[in-house]
Amino acid sequence: MSLLSVHDVKKLYGDSCGDCVSLTGDAAGTNQCPDCGTVVACADINFEVHEGEVLGIVGESGSGKSSLAEVIALDLEADGGKVRYHPYDGNLLDANYQERVELRNQHVGMVHQHIRDGLNLSFSGGGNVAEKLLSADWRRYEAIRDRVRDLFNQTEVPVERMDDAAETYSGGMQRRVQIAKALATEPELVILDEPTTGLDVSVQARVLDVFRRIQREQGVATIVVSHDLDVVRLLADRTLVMRHGRVIESGLTDRIMEDPHHKYTQTLINSVI
């Protein structure tokens, strides 16, 4: 069943002349409007995410993938389109401030690329996760401690470190605490933005394995945004390829990797070193 469906989502940076979308994209070879200079971060975006499914979004820097993820995570206002998300009645993009806060607290988990966007590093690791639970109306101290302990175990963060400041954690641990925080309130959807960027190769593998295990066990639907084809290959069931603010190809991940159709996707696959 479809958990999330996205129709014609659009996000522009700049004062649009009104023709920006038709003057940019794959055929035009740019995401910047030649008339007014507006950047079309994404346009004509259509896709669905089904329950328990992992959707990958790949593309180079500036392709629009992070803007798209932020729109869906309700961190960024869109300039048009419709998003249906099962826990919300109506167009998600029209949700008011209060509704957005509630959705973010309870129904969407986000793992940010930049640790500082996801964690308060001067708080303890456990405190960061507890904060998310508090915002979702968890009130009993012991229940919160138990839940944090349980999440630390699942994400393989040493429980004995839960009261230490997050800034004393290794990069891989910080990333896993973010995963614990994102999953804390059992959201229906989790969004991972460049989950392995800035981590050593050996640590990357562990983060991916921890996430994939939990994802399969809990069946949480996931959108994973990455410029790294390997990350998407290992996690995603289906993949969208973005370029110049548009989805230029989509399909089963192994089909995209082994039988790429679009010229750009073929170049991308052939460029893996």
Partner 1 sequence: MILEIDDLSKTFEMHVIDNKCVVGLDGVSFDVREGEFFAVVGESGSGKSSLLKSIYRSYQPSSGCIVYRSLDGPVDLATCSEQQVLKLRGNEIGYTSQFLDEIPRVPAVDVVARPLREGGMDPDAARDQATELLRALNLPEDLFDAFPATFSGGERQRVNLARAIAPQPRLLLLDEPTSALDPDTRAAAIDLLETYLDESTTMVGVFHNPEVIRDIADRVAMLENGHLERVVDVSDYRREALL
Q: Which stretch binds partner 1 (CB under 8 A): 111-119, 137-145, 165-173, 264-272?
A: 264-272
Q: Measured from the CB atom, is 160 or 273 closer to partner 1?
A: 273
Q: Measured from the CB atom, is 180 or 208 closer to partner 1?
A: 208
Q: Residue 192: in which H helix or E strand, if any?
A: strand 189-193
Q: Look at phi and psi of residue 6 and say left if phi exceeds 0, alpha if psi is from -120 to 50, else beta.
A: beta
Q: 3: which residues sit within 8 A by CB, 6+ positions away?
A: 49, 50, 51, 53, 85, 86, 188, 189, 221
3-class DSSP state of 240: strand
Contacts 24+ apart (CB under 8 A), 205-212: 206/156, 206/172, 206/176, 207/172, 207/175, 207/176, 207/179, 208/234, 208/235, 210/154, 210/155, 210/156, 210/176, 210/179, 211/179, 211/235
> Which 193-252 residues touch partner 1, going by CB under 8 A?
202, 205-206, 208-209, 212, 216, 233-234, 237-238, 251-252
Q: 243: which residues sit within 8 A by CB, 6+ positions away?
A: 26, 59, 60, 63, 264
Contact residue for partner 1 among 80, 153, 261, 272 (CB under 8 A): 261
Angle subtended by helix axes 171-183 and 125-135, to nearest 10: 20
Q: Measured from the CB atom, is 94 or 200 closer to partner 1?
A: 200
Q: How far is the CB of 259 from partner 1 (least distance, A)?
A: 4
Q: How far is CA 89 from the centre of its chain?
A: 22
Q: Where are the alpha helices (DSSP H) in 3-89?
A: 20-23, 65-72
> Which 150-189 residues touch partner 1, going by CB under 8 A?
none
Asked if 267 is part of the footprint of partner 1 (rule: CB under 8 A), the reply reads yes
Q: Measured from the CB atom, is 70 or 194 closer to partner 1?
A: 194
Q: Measured from the CB atom, is 106 or 253 closer to partner 1?
A: 253
Q: Measured from the CB atom, is 111 or 240 closer to partner 1?
A: 240
Residue in the block written with tokens 């679009």: 262
Asked if 53 is part of the footprint of partner 1 (rule: CB under 8 A), the reply reads yes
Residues in the chain: 273
Q: Measured from the CB atom, is 168 or 218 closer to partner 1?
A: 218
Q: How far is the CB of 60 from partner 1 (least distance, A)?
A: 17
> Which 13-52 residues touch partner 1, going by CB under 8 A?
50
Asked if 86 is part of the footprint of partner 1 (rule: CB under 8 A), the reply reads no
Residues that bind partner 1 (CB under 8 A): 50, 53, 202, 205-206, 208-209, 212, 216, 233-234, 237-238, 251-252, 254-255, 258-259, 261-263, 266-267, 270
